[in-house]
Amino acid sequence: MVQPLKLILENVSVARGTRTIIADLSLTVAAGEAVLLTGPNGAGKTTLIRALAGLLAPSAGRISVDGGGEEDLAQQCHYVGHLNGLKASLTVAENLQFWADYLPGHPSAGSVGRVHNALARLNIDALADIPTAYLSAGQKRRAGLARVLMAQRPLWLLDEPTGSLDAASADIVCQLVDAHTANGGMAVIATHLPLAIKAPRTLQLGAKIAAEAA
Amino acid sequence: MSAFFTLLKRDLRLALRDGGALGTALGFYLIVVSLLPLGLGPDLNLLSRIAPGILWIALLLAALLSLSRMFETDYEDGSLEAIAAGPLPLELMAGAKALAHALTTGVPLVVITPVLALMLNLDLKAYPVLIASMGLGIPAISFLGSIGAALTLKTRRGGLLLALLVLPLYVPTLIFGISAVNAALSGPQGASSSFLILSAVSLVSLVVGPLAAAAALRIQMQ
């Protein structure tokens, strides 16, 4: 069980260079909530996710996690961006084993057990000993997403998690998110595909951009 | 601390499995040093006089070749951000990567140096001092190099810029590395002061390199 947490954004603006992408956004994500970020291309979904992951400093406002430990934002979240963070010459299991050993672990399960468990849950256990260079885009995506299961962190930040996945795999990812939120975790997911997640909140970004374009 | 060794182990394994960076560095070193006698002619006295300088310069340039990949490969596939979100401070992460570079590029280059020194007719007395001076200089090469690698992380084709940034930082190492060898050739006690300064440069770079590289990475990953 993850301790009850809250992700709080207070009047957050994020700029890339001189362009303000996100302006004056306030949002609270409570424990057990999943938020879907939607919006047209260029609306700032990725920018917001990267700001939440602590990779971009907001130009105004504050992003904080309430009730968390002393770790900063970056260490309380799993960020899986467009890139999967896999090493082509390592096998799927070796890639995951590194993350299991590197990220501060789950107290109950050993790191080897966590890798097997994650491979099974994402239905890629048959690929465990294949170098990731030989995987298809969807298989790589699943192996990349398996990283979030390597260490328990309250906030999942997923950027287009199902972009290259088939329907069955997308369902698996949705089930993982459901299990995470049922366990008191939080998820912020940028997507332009409908996701079969239980009771998501949807945040539409870039309505203004869409209106200007119309 | 276990995270540090986990990261180091991963980088060593990747370097062994990919092998390209090490092969390039060793091949470059071998070719540059073996071309020299062809260019200068078979004057053994001349070759043995310039051998320490040639070997040192060729070693620096060979190590420079693989420097740009220190953070770049992880940045390109997205692992750098996930590693940065891990338990390790960015400084230690940069340190682990620089250490991996030293072990996978610097050490093999030093190991094949005696073979190449034969081609240049280096005085036998100079071998131990040359190898020792290179061994002491390797940390400076990798750790100072990590600053340049971090600064040019997002620069496409940043190799030349990297060389411009990093080679000036190598000047003290080069000067005292060669002066150690020359001093050893001229007298029994001559090399020790050069060794001390060489060690000092390496120790300073062990501290300054990761700090500066981490600061650069923070800016680059924005």
Q: A104–B10: do the CB atoms touch at under 8 Å? A: no
More confident of the two residues A210 and B95: B95
When scoring B17, B74, B97 by the number of chain A Cβ atoms within 10 A, the one with the most, hence best to mutate, is B17
For the question of an ipTM over 0.85, the answer is no
| Tens place of pLDDT per residue across chain A (214 aa) | 445 678 888 888 888 888 888 888 888 888 888 888 888 888 888 888 888 888 888 888 888 877 665 567 777 888 888 888 888 888 888 888 888 888 876 555 577 778 888 888 888 888 888 898 898 888 888 888 888 888 888 888 888 888 888 888 888 888 888 888 888 888 888 888 877 777 778 888 876 554 554 4
* Amino acid symbol at B204: V
Q: How far apart are CA A18 and CA A38, in angstroms?
A: 23
Q: Note the pLDDT of residue A68.
A: 60
Q: Note the pLDDT of residue A2.
A: 46
Q: Note the pLDDT of residue A1.
A: 42
Q: B7–A102: do the CB atoms touch at under 8 Å? A: yes
Q: How far apart are CA A167 and CA A176, in angstroms?
A: 14
Q: Does residue A99 contact residue A114 with C-beta atoms inside 8 Å?
A: no
Q: Note the pLDDT of residue A15.
A: 85
The residues with which A78 forms a beta bridge, in sequence order, are A156
The residues with which B153 forms a beta bridge, in sequence order, are none
* Binding-site residues on chain A for chain B (CB distance < 8 A): 53-57, 74-75, 77-79, 81-90, 94, 98-99, 101-104, 144, 147
Q: List, in sequence order, the alpha helices (H) in chain A.
A: 45-52, 73-76, 92-102, 111-121, 137-145, 167-182, 207-213
Tell me what percent of the residues of chain B surpass a pLDDT of 70.
Answer: 99
Q: How far apart are CA A143 and CA A87, in angstroms?
A: 11
Looking up tokens 């020299």 gives B36
Q: B85–A101: do the CB atoms touch at under 8 Å? A: no
Nearest Cα neighbor of A23 from A205, A210, A211 is A205
| Antiparallel, parallel or unpaired: β A155-159 and A60-66 | unpaired
Nearest Cα neighbor of B102 from B131, B57, B161, B144 is B144
Q: How far apart are CA A40 and CA A208, in angstroms?
A: 10
Per-residue pLDDT tens digits for B33-50? 999 889 888 888 888 888
Q: How far apart are CA A121 and CA A106, in angstroms?
A: 17
* Amino acid symbol at B155: T
Q: Note the pLDDT of residue A105.
A: 62
Looking up tokens 């990798």 gives B142
The residues with which A186 forms a beta bridge, in sequence order, are A155
DSSP state of A192: S
Q: Which of B7, B13, B85 sits opposite A75 (nearest CB)?
A: B85
Q: Note the pLDDT of residue A70.
A: 56
pTM of the model: 0.88
